[in-house]
């Protein structure tokens, strides 16, 4: 009866309540999302392995052509990888083979293939942990009681961290189970006294003469997150830099992709020696690419024209990898964007003048189209929209809310630290007065002066 009475009292005071229907629905969807991640992450890793194996085999074949024969070690690895991909009905056996490959590959596979092989056992090991977290979320729907003891909080923190969720999902899970954001955590031994600067500064200890804010400096600026809006001049300068630097960077990527494409062509030509049409197509495409790269150093317009001609040839595109085609299209796009990015930079520079801001619906629609066309990252997109008074997309609003939550948490920490510091100073001041009075009564006035000096620290 006493426990029931306490619960009724807590409910009456608003200290404990069952989640409303909207909250229950969000948590239920969150649990389903965590379960889906547990399944899809493994499926995606296996799919990536199949894709990487095709490329890795072409690379090995290409090296074998130049060395007049594939090495025995490469052939053995190829056979093992094929066996792994065929053992879809025996996950345990497949994982054992992957472990064997990782131990014996000795640098003979590409970096991307190595990372993919390592990700499969890692993602498989996370399945049970993610399912346990999903069960914990589902259970929280019918319970209004968050983790109470420090041991419960630490256990839940360990479970969430071990699941290695994406940043956005991790943040929403933490909010649902009432854990602090990932960047605000500190160890249980240090939680009471040690305040860690979230910008990776050395740890400092709050003392009666130094409150939290004084210890870590302007920490607010370090946790506003990726959506901290830039000043207008910084945003304009970034747009101008993108206009001048992105086109050149796209050519560098194209050159790198062409080098990989040549290895693939060598393998294809070797496997289809009896097909002269293939050899002719490869030779023609290779000459076209070399001409494009040569034209780039002579005339940007002619080089871009040659890229457009290449993209317009359906037959040629069949002989190119998706990555090369995507990079060619990006080259064209990056050379079309500078005028738009410079135009947007001009509008951002004068955004402090109210008369230059879009007013009518037509003006806002035109400016919205310009912002979308510039292909901006989240921070710059958010900044430009704030400066030009354009609507913020829902995805960016969610990120903004996360940033605001971090700031509110820091504000509460600073307030508690300031109150604790004021209380400690008041207690010490009263103590110093008592000591001073006693010293004066005993004829030790200098001690009273010393106490006043200490009081000012």
Q: Are residues 364 and 387 in the same domain?
A: yes
Write the pLDDT tens digit of every residue in 71-83.
Answer: 788 888 888 888 8
User: Which comes out higher in pLDDT, residue 219 or 332?
Assistant: 332
Same domain, 44 and 130: yes
Rounded to the nearest 10 degrees, the angle between the axes of helix 276-296 and helix 232-271 is 150
pLDDT at 246: 92
Of residues 178, 176, 173, 228, the one with CA closest to residue 199 = 228
Residue 323 buriedness (CB in 10 A; 0-12 / 13-18 / 19+): middle
* Backbone φ and ψ of 16, nearest 5°: -150, 130
pLDDT for the residue 342: 94
Query: For residue 11, is it within any domain?
Result: no
For residue 197, which phi and psi values (nearest 5 degrees)? -65, 125
More confident residue, 191 or 78: 78
Same domain, 437 and 311: no
Kindly state whether residues 123 and 213 are assigned to the same domain: no
Query: In total, how many domains does the chain have?
Result: 3
Asked if 433 and 440 touch (Cβ cutoff 8 Å), the reply is: no
- How confident is residue 307, by pLDDT bands cut at 50, 70 and 90? very high
What range does the domain containing 85 cover?
A: 16-179
pLDDT of residue 357: 92
For residue 120 the two structure tokens come to 């499969």
147, part of any domain: yes
Q: Of 122-126, 159-163, 332-336, which one has max mean pLDDT?
A: 332-336
End-to-end C-alpha distance for the chain, whole angstroms: 53
Q: Is the pLDDT of residue 203 over 80?
A: no
In a domain, 286, yes or no: yes
Residues 168 and 300 in one domain: no
Q: Measuring CA to CA, how many Å separate 253 from each of 290, 324, 326?
A: 15, 9, 11
Residue 414 binned pLDDT confidence (cut-offs 50, 70, 90): low
Q: Which of 134, 169, 225 is nearest to 407 (CA)?
A: 225
Neighbours of 265 (CB within 10 A): 22
**Does some domain include residue 144?**
yes
Q: Does 335 share its domain with 195?
A: no
369 and 347 in a single domain? The answer is: yes
pLDDT tens digit string along 337-360? 999 999 999 999 999 999 899 999
Any idea what the Cα angle at residue 225 is, between residues 223 and 230, rounded to 5°? 110
Inside any domain, residue 290: yes
Q: Which of 392, 416, 449 is the last residue of a domain?
A: 392
Residues 229 and 399: beta-carbon distance below 8 Å: no
With a cut of 50, say whether residue 6 has pLDDT above it. Answer: no
Q: 438 with 380, same domain?
A: no
Residue 35 lies in a domain: yes
In the numeric block, which tokens belong to residue 160? 């969430």
Residues 165 and 196 occupy one common structural domain: no
Q: Are 426 and 208 in contact (CB under 8 A)?
A: no
Can you give the pLDDT at residue 249?
92
Q: Are 329 and 257 in contact (CB under 8 A)?
A: no
Whether the predicted pLDDT of 319 surpasses 50: yes
pLDDT, position 374 = 93
Q: Looking at the structure, do residues 166 and 20 belong to the same domain, yes or no? A: yes
How far, CA to CA in Å, does 439 sit from each of 171, 426, 451? Answer: 57, 20, 10
Domain's final residue, options 161, 179, 197: 179
Fill in the DSSP letter of residue 200. S
More confident residue, 106 or 441: 106
Question: Is 323 found in the same domain as 195?
Answer: no
Q: Across the strands, what pairs with 205? A: 194
Instruction: Examine the domain organization and report whether 74 and 155 are in the same domain.
Output: yes
**Residue where a domain stops, chosen among 392, 417, 436:** 392
Assigned domain for 7 exists: no
275 in a domain, yes or no? yes
């Amino acid at each position: 009866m006493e426990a029931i009475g306490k619960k009724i009292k807590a409910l009456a005071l608003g200290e404990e309540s069952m989640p409303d229907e909207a909250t229950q629905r969000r948590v239920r969807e969150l649990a389903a999302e965590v379960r889906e991640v547990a399944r899809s992450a493994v499926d995606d890793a296996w799919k990536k392995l199949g894709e990487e194996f095709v490329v890795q085999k072409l690379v090995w074949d290409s090296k074998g052509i130049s060395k007049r024969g594939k090495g025995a070690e490469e052939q053995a690895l190829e056979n093992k990888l094929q066996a792994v991909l065929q053992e879809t009905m025996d996950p345990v056996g497949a994982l054992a083979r992957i472990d064997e490959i990782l131990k014996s590959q000795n640098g003979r596979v590409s970096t991307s293939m190595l990372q993919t092989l390592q990700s499969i056992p890692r993602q498989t090991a996370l399945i049970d942990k993610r399912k346990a977290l999903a069960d914990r979320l589902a259970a929280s729907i019918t319970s209004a009681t968050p983790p109470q003891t420090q041991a419960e909080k630490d256990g839940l923190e360990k479970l969430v961290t071990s699941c290695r969720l994406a940043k956005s999902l991790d943040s929403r899970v933490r909010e649902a189970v009432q854990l602090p954001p990932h960047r605000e955590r500190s160890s249980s031994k240090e939680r009471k006294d040690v305040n860690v600067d979230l910008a990776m500064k050395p740890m400092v200890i709050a003392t009666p003469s130094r409150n939290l804010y004084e210890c870590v400096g302007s920490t607010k600026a370090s946790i506003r997150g990726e959506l901290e809006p830039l000043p207008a001049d910084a945003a304009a300068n970034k747009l101008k830099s993108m206009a001048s630097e992105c086109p050149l960077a796209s050519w560098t990527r194209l050159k790198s992709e062409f080098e990989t494409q040549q290895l693939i062509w060598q393998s294809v030509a070797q496997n289809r020696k009896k097909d002269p049409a293939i050899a002719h197509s490869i030779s023609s495409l290779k000459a076209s690419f070399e001409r494009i790269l040569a034209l780039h150093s002579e005339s940007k317009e002619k080089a871009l024209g040659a890229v457009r001609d290449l993209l317009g040839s359906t037959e040629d595109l069949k002989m190119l990898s998706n990555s090369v085609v995507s990079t060619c299209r990006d080259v064209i796009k990056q050379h079309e964007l500078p005028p738009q990015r410079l135009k947007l930079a001009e509008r951002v520079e004068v955004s402090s003048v109210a008369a230059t801001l879009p007013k009518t619906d037509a003006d806002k629609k035109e400016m919205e189209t310009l912002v979308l066309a510039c292909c901006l990252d989240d921070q710059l997109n958010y900044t430009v929209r704030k400066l030009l008074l354009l609507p913020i997309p829902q995805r960016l609003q969610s990120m903004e809310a996360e940033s605001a939550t971090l700031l509110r948490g820091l504000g509460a920490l600073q307030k508690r630290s300031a109150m604790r510091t004021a209380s400690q100073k008041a207690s010490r001041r009263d103590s110093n007065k008592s000591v001073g009075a006693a010293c004066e009564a005993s004829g030790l006035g200098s001690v009273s002066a010393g106490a006043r000096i200490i009081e000012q620290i």
